[in-house]
Amino acid sequence: MCSLGSDEQLSGHAPEATTNRDDTMLISVRAAVVLLAALFVAGCAGILTFATSHDLARSSLAAGGAFLAATVFCNNTVISRRG
């Protein structure tokens, strides 16, 4: 029976060193918090609008507007960089 070892034996060269994942962040933590708060507000607005009007297009537009407004509001006011 043939026993295959590590990846080093299969590829013929040593594995490369892993990079530090802190240097390759996609977005900052602050931006993620702002977007998650805006997503929560948009979800609530969409659900409440759909519950009252039973119109999917109207609730989608309300959710989109609420997302945009909540993003600007959270970015400028609630989660401000200014101390």
- Per-domain residue ranges of the chain: 41-83
- Supply the pLDDT for residue 79: 73
First vs last Cα of the chain: how many Å apart?
A: 67
Tokens of 35: 């977007």
- Supply the pLDDT for residue 45: 98
pLDDT tens-digit series, residues 6-24: 544 555 555 565 555 556 8
Integer CA distances (angstroms), 14 to 6, 7, 9, 10, 17, in order: 10, 8, 8, 10, 9
Instruction: Indicate if the pLDDT at residue 65 is higher than 60.
Output: yes
- Supply the pLDDT for residue 14: 57
